[in-house]
Amino acid sequence: MKLQLRFLLQILIPALFFGLAAYAHPGSQGTSISISVVKSDNAKPLADALVKITTLNKAENATKDVSGFTDSKGNFGYAFVQPVIVQVSQLGYYTVTDTIYIPENKIYALVIKSEKINDVVVTGQYKPESAQKSVYDVKVIDAEAIRAKGANNLYEALSNELNIDFGQDAVFGSNIGINGISGEGVKIMVDGVPLLGRLNGSVDLSSININNVERIEIVEGPLSVMYGTDAMGGVINIITKSHQAQKININLKGYYESVGQYNAEVDAGFAYKKNQFFLSAGRNFFGGYSPVDTPRFKLWKPREQYFADAKYVYAADRFRLTLSGSFFRELMIDRGPPVKSLATGDTSWTYVGVDEHYLTYRGRAAAAFMYRFKGAGQLDALAAYSGYTRFTNTYQKNLITLDEIPLNDPSDSVGQDTTRYHQIEVRATYTLSAWKNRLNFLFGVDVNQEYAADNFIQGGKQQLGDYATFGSARITIFEGFDIQPAVRFSYNTRFQVPLIPSFNIRYNYKDKLSVRASYGRGFRAPSINELFLTLVDVNHNLHGSPSLKPEDGNTVNASITYTKPIKKHILSFTASGFYNNIKNEITWRHIGSGTGVDYQYDNLTRCITFGGRAIITYRWQDFHAEASVQATRYQVDSLVYNYNLRMWTPDVVFNAGYMIPKILVGVNVTYKYYGLTPAFAANSGETGTVNPYNILSASITRNFWKDRIQLTVGGKNLLNVRNVLTNGVTGVGHNIGDNDMGWGRTFFMTLVFNYSK
């Protein structure tokens, strides 16, 4: 009884006091309280941190919203009248948001971005949770890291990642591989919706804008159970912005790069009660580049891109609705060299050029909702449409009169062509927790229907359907030790799909030691192009093969991470390994005679990649550094060409960043060594190598005018790598191109103006 009376007095007396004070002085300035901001690693005061105070209940708005910066001792004071939302932010630190209901002094410890290990991830998860608790080894690249790189597209954002390798093509753009699995074997998604538009087997990463991206999540290894075909090598999920603390947030961004790239964009977010609105739009322009500048022909083709995105989010206590849409347009022009010719319809001589125009449209619309039941269940559903259209038009341009004439005769060039892809996806999952959250279940259905229409596809139109149900159980044996078996049942409209299982184990000890191991079966049905392509003109003779077999494989991954805090220092070490065994990998095969250019898709006998990596991370106050090395073994056997490829490939990555405290300037340096990689030619069955090369980039970042202006300047490819030689092979095949990697050393500047309230 005495304890209850004491408790009531402790609650009622302060409430009565503040209530009487407010009644006696309705127009008073409130109670003065102090907010102190410190660094999480050493508890030192953090000066110039931005503090925003927003009234919690707008219907009782007795005071205006206020904002300001902490002083040299990390303090900020204001008058408390009613409950408020407090947001504390600083360049290089993670933002903290809190709600204050009674007048009390507060201390907030801001975490340096490089120190945070509990990034919230969603890819492949039952629900959003920290990366530390995920059974998958998820790599997160946040918006701050993307800005520091000066990245404008997905290719630039993923550069210098250890387990990711790239291929470049001056026309088709860049493609990607994870741990030796490339092309169709890596699934790329935006908010869980797969991207369309694979040309030459890969999505052009340089055409994927990341202007409104919150973070990028990378999961290596097969996620075929969760995401079906095309997820053998891994999944890259681009997460766009879906929440903001401010009522209004507007960003104007300008970008310049010395190679002749000019970008401009605007992002805006609005919050009203339970509603959030996000809009973004922009234009990217690249004028083209050649080592020897010419008035027309460019080795790297000029591009002009327009994009727009919109998202609406309604978030209640147990219900969440998201509606989103995006539009992308790109015009790329491949201008031929001037040629002296007779004018059309005349006998006079003039100069003409043959130009190929590649006009691409990409659209996406999606609706997603989440409902949390009163019990332990949660339903998530997604319905999405994706469209991709590419117009290929060839013109003869009179360089004197500037008149253009379409070339419809295939003997002249590629001529006129239209490629259309449409995809409809419906996905739903239901998660259920039991036994005090020690036993979790996930059940899901996945419907995917793809349509293609192209002059160079057999029959003009083709379609593929994949329908699946899947489920998994996450069992917590004891705190920190989870096992997760899973299985997927699928029906494909053209191929028999086997049962696809996976098994994951995670052990975590006091956030110091983390161990993960996984096994998964990967399955990939051939794409529509691989099955039905028929591209025959003066430059090409390429064919699909309806008799192709699906790729089928098994993958094992394991990793161990140990983190050791030493006073103000944090040292982390990670060792991991992987093994991929893929049967019937699909590639090009030469079907012509002599030196012809007739190719057809075919199955290799087997492709095996395995290897390991070691990563050391060091953090101390405002400094962080990471050094990592990976060795990958390639073993490719082909009965078609009667050869056996065996080769080790090393890669080295080093990243470092430092926030200079006195001047608040962030410095970032990234370096990657791409080791000797294998290559094989489809026209001859020859095997060879691609020479090693180094990529070094650096940037500095500074905020001005109370964080309203953000300036980043830096250099890319500072070692000036322009081309990489291929030895021992010619023709087309894995890792073989025109040897051109880029346009060499460039310098860039990004300027962002931010307005928020």
Coil/strand/helix, residue 185: helix
Please state the φ and ψ torsions of residue 529, each to the nearest 5 degrees.
Answer: -65, -45
Check residue 197 and report its DSSP letter.
-
If you search the block for the tokens 């369309």, which residue do you land on?
Answer: 196
If you search the block for the tokens 């999405």, which residue do you land on?
Answer: 384
| Neighbour-count burial for 654-678, b at 16+ CB within 10 Å, e otherwise | bbbbbbeeeebbbbbbbbbebbebb
Q: How many CB atoms lie within 10 A of CB 696?
A: 19
pLDDT along the chain (757 residues), means of 10: 40 36 42 85 77 72 73 85 83 77 84 59 80 82 84 84 69 66 79 75 73 85 81 85 84 94 94 91 91 79 93 90 94 86 68 87 93 87 92 84 72 61 93 88 93 80 91 91 94 90 91 90 83 68 83 90 85 93 81 60 84 93 91 82 80 92 89 84 63 91 88 93 73 46 87 90
User: Which residue ranges make up each domain of the chain?
Assistant: 27-111, 115-227, 234-464+474-756
Check residue 675 and give its pLDDT. Answer: 87
The two tokens of residue 582 are 């893929």
Tell me the CATH class for 27-111. Answer: mainly beta
Residue 297 β-bridge partners: none
The two tokens of residue 225 are 């159970």
Amino acid (1-letter code) at residue 724: V
Inter-CA distances, 756 with 70, 92, 269, 701, Å = 18, 19, 9, 20
**CATH 2.40.170.20 applies to domain 234-464+474-756:** yes
The answer to whether 178 and 200 are in contact (CB under 8 A) is: no
Q: What residues contact 577, with CB distance under 8 A and at least 6 apart? A: 557, 558, 559, 610, 611, 612, 613
Q: What residues contact 29, with CB distance under 8 A and at least 6 apart? A: 79, 81
Please state the pTM of the whole predicted model: 0.79
The answer to whether 490 and 228 are in contact (CB under 8 A) is: yes
Check residue 530 and give its pLDDT. Answer: 81
| Neighbour-count burial for 300-321, b at 16+ CB within 10 Å, e otherwise | bbbbebebebbbbbeeeeeebb
Residue 527's closest CA among 171, 236, 192, 196? 196
The answer to whether 121 and 137 are in contact (CB under 8 A) is: no
The two tokens of residue 81 are 């009248």
Longest CA–CA span in the chain (Å) reads 112
Check residue 592 and give its pLDDT. Answer: 61
Return the CATH number of 115-227, one of 3.30.70.1070, 2.170.130.10, 1.10.3720.10, 3.10.290.10. Answer: 2.170.130.10
